[in-house]
Amino acid sequence: MPLLAWNDNLSVGVRSIDGQHLQLVTILNNLYDAMTQGHAKEVTGPLLRKLVNYTRDHFSAEEAMMVAAKYPSLTSHRHEHDKLTKQVESYVERFDRGECTVNIELLRFLRTWLTDHIQHSDKAYAPCMIEHGIH
């Protein structure tokens, strides 16, 4: 059973963004599977870094689309992205130093953050993007 199943509630109606969100969900589920199957740091570490790197790339792409659409709430949206990025990068640094492990609390936090962010913040920009021809 996945940590987070893709469903229509996670769709913002912008194909490229939905595809990126689906990829984030997939990586998160792969990390969850590795953790629940007891895979060592050698497996969970690279998956954790893959999630962080893909998230960073996704945020950049999403923000570029918001700029193109002249989305009025870009600054506050970017702040949400920056805050999560700093939190997760700090966690990865502690993980790399052996101070923590990938655990269910982290994965639940990421699931909740991603779900809430998509359903509220991301869905708020979708009409603006669609209006500007960004699909």
Residue 45: what pLDDT?
87
DSSP state of 49: H
In the chain, the domains with their CATH numbers are 14-131 (1.20.120.50)
Over the stretch 58-73, which tens digit does the pLDDT of each residue have? 999 999 999 999 999 9
pTM: 0.93
Q: Residue 97: how many CB atoms within 10 A of its CB?
A: 8
* Euclidean distance between CA atoms 74 and 93, whole angstroms: 28
Q: What is the percent of the chain with per-residue pLDDT over 90, rounded to a whole number?
A: 81
Encoded tokens for 85: 């990025």
Q: Do 24 and 56 meet the contact criterion of CB atoms below 8 Å apart?
A: no
Residue 41 has pLDDT above 80, yes or no: no
Confidence of residue 82 (pLDDT cuts 50, 70, 90): very high
Write the secondary structure of 80-129 as one string of H (helix), E (strand) and C (coil): HHHHHHHHHHHHHHHHHCCCCCCCHHHHHHHHHHHHHHHHHHHHHHHHHH
Residue 43 has pLDDT above 90, yes or no: no
Q: Do 52 and 41 meet the contact criterion of CB atoms below 8 Å apart?
A: no
